Structure 1
Amino acid sequence: MVRQQLGDLGGFIREQRERSAMSLRKLAETAGISNPYLSQIERGLRKPSAEILMSIARALSIRAESLYEKAGLLEASEGHIGVVEAIEGDPLLTKTQKRSLAEVYESFIAGAKEEETDVD
């Protein structure tokens, strides 16, 4: 199970890197980690810390939470992660647009959860 999670995480990171048209070397440099370490993460051989995941997320201009969820550090809410992944994976949006749209969506979700709590 853990090995599959790491593979899913690594594949997701590789996919996001390729969508951002970044080489492995460039992502490693931007994230402040070594090329071999990033390669091992992408192949599911190493489990990165939350701090490393945050660095990778910043370098890719994606939400760190999406990497935490893939790594099993956070639980994904049903449906929610699919929408955010779709936003992050859209090749027509810029990095800034993706981040802004994801933040707006998340604020709507948070507001909806608050409304549910108020109704109860």
Structure 2
Amino acid sequence: MTSHVPNEARVIPMRPRATRPQARPTAPPTAVERRRPAVREPLWRDLVGGILRQERLAQERTLKEVAETARISMPYLSEVERGRKEASSEVLAAAAGALGLGLGDLLARAQGELVRLSSRHSGPGRGPGASGARFDGMCLAA
């Protein structure tokens, strides 16, 4: 039995053809969107890393010296200083200790920097003084 079908392959598309989305009119920003700060709030790892780097440079010590004293690998300490790694409390304590700081000193400095930077970015009605509350403590969560 012979079939008289031309010698062509039938193509079945795997995905539907992409259609261009129609442009939607954009709504004006809401009041909440207008009040949002354009600058992102600082991350804890950036603050702690910056404090470690500042202290190391103030002591005119190399990254290698501090890493060896703290018994941390030099690349890892560099990543912590640049805010690229979220270091454990043990690593932070070792790095702070190598610089002659206690863990509490390091965290207190980072908290002070956080308060300073946050108050600069907070607008009216935001920040610690907005509700009349006063924040003197520090809270860390893992």
The TM-score normalised by the length of structure 1 is 0.54
Q: How many Å apart are 1:3 and its aligned residue?
A: 6.3
- Alignment match, 1:22: 61
- Alignment match, 2:107: 68
- Alignment match, 1:36: 75
CA distance in 2: counterparts of 1:59 and 1:16, whole angstroms: 11
Q: 1:48 to 1:12 in 2, by over 3 A?
A: same
Higher helix proportion, which one? 1
How large is the RMSD of aligned CA atoms in angstroms? 2.7
The code of the aligned residue for 2:100 comes to S
Q: What SS class does the counterpart of residue 38 from structure 1 fall into?
A: helix
CA distance in 2: counterparts of 1:11 and 1:60, whole angstroms: 13
Q: How many Å apart are 1:53 and its aligned residue?
A: 1.1
Q: What SS class does the counterpart of residue 13 from structure 1 fall into?
A: helix
- Answer yes or no: is the 8 Å Cα contact 1:41–1:47 preserved in 2: yes
- Alignment match, 1:13: 52
- Alignment match, 2:85: 46
CA distance in 2: counterparts of 1:34 and 1:3, whole angstroms: 26
The code of the aligned residue for 1:10 comes to G
The TM-score normalised by the length of structure 2 is 0.46
Could you give the per-residue CA deviations for residues 8-48 of structure 1, whole angstroms, max 9, x where no partner exists? 11111000001111100110110000011001001100011
Q: How many residues matched?
A: 75
- Residue ranges of structure 1 left out of the alignment (5+ in a row): 83-120
The code of the aligned residue for 1:45 comes to R
Determine what percentage of the aligned residue pairs are the same residue: 35
Q: How many Å apart are 1:68 and its aligned residue?
A: 3.3
Q: 1:3 to 1:44 in 2, by over 3 A?
A: farther
- Residue ranges of structure 2 left out of the alignment (5+ in a row): 1-39, 117-142
